[in-house]
Amino acid sequence: MTAPRKIVLHEVGLRDGLQMEPEVVPTAQKIAWAEALLATGVDVVQLGSFVHPGKVPQMADTERLFAHFTAPERRPKGVVLSGLVLNEKGLERGLAAGVDLFCMGVSASETHSRKNTGMSIADASRRIVAMAKTALSSGKGVQLSVQSAFGCGYEGPVPRERVLAIARGFVEAGFDRLSLADTAGHAVPGEVAARFGELARLAPRAELSCHFHDTYGLALANCYAALDAGVTSFEASVAGLGGCPFTAVAGGNTCTEDLVHAWRRTGLRPDVDLDALIALARRIAAHFVRQMPGKVYRNGPIRQPEAALCPGAAG
């Protein structure tokens, strides 16, 4: 396996992780968790999404979180703060809040697109590209995603040509930070390798990102298939929290500490503080008074001497 030039760890627990939770987590608790995450060495932290609070109550305090962490005395050094937006109003709110990296997407499933955004694929594609251009012109980073890229809980298999057509629209509009998201958790490693290979051929200079859900237990395997296919940015959620509330069967995300633990066993990203991630996962489990999907926080990590780690993987 050839290691990428730089592996980016994008923590999405505060957004994708919490959006499924029926209990609204207090803002002060989110701030404490975010501070813990920012201290672990992750590269990007997604503080929330700018969506209608009536539809996703957990995200009603996203502006307050950004206000806290974009204050000059508290703004984290070396960590990008990302936020998810679905429409023009969300983008307007995100720009006002000080988002560094806007994450936007178009679902390759008509059914999921309408349930998630109230728009058809065609309408969502047109509006997202226009929004992305606005964000870029404002000096912000933009990552564009094809959601339900490996299958849909409502429609089943999603045609490869439809995924590529959406991605091609992004590329032709001038965007080179691209993601494929496994919203329903249907991906398998072979398909991951194939679709990211196609995306890399379509946009050979693009920075590729992946977002896997562990609905059927394949998230880590899919991350390694993506790594082999040239993906350099990985989205994950501490404790394995999360899932999309607008898909048929919701499952947790790739678990951050499990992914970091797996990486460390092959010498990748040893700079990320695994013990701090495990401690936070245990705090989150205690808060919700239930066992989280993550494995390493429960079983403990495999300890290896530094010399045993594979060389050349400072990532």
**What amino acid positions are annotated as catalytic residues?**
244
* DSSP H/E element including 222: helix 219-228
CA dist., res. 225 & res. 182, Å (int) = 13
CA dist., res. 222 & res. 254, Å (int) = 9
CB-based contacts of 99, cutoff 8 Å, min separation 6: 66, 81, 82, 83, 140
Q: Are 315 and 3 in contact (CB under 8 A)?
A: yes
Q: Are 212 and 253 in contact (CB under 8 A)?
A: yes
CA dist., res. 106 & res. 123, Å (int) = 9
Question: Token digits for 214?
Answer: 């562990």
> Is the four-CA dihedral 309, 236, 67, 279 of positive or negative sign?
negative
Q: Are 61 and 27 in contact (CB under 8 A)?
A: yes
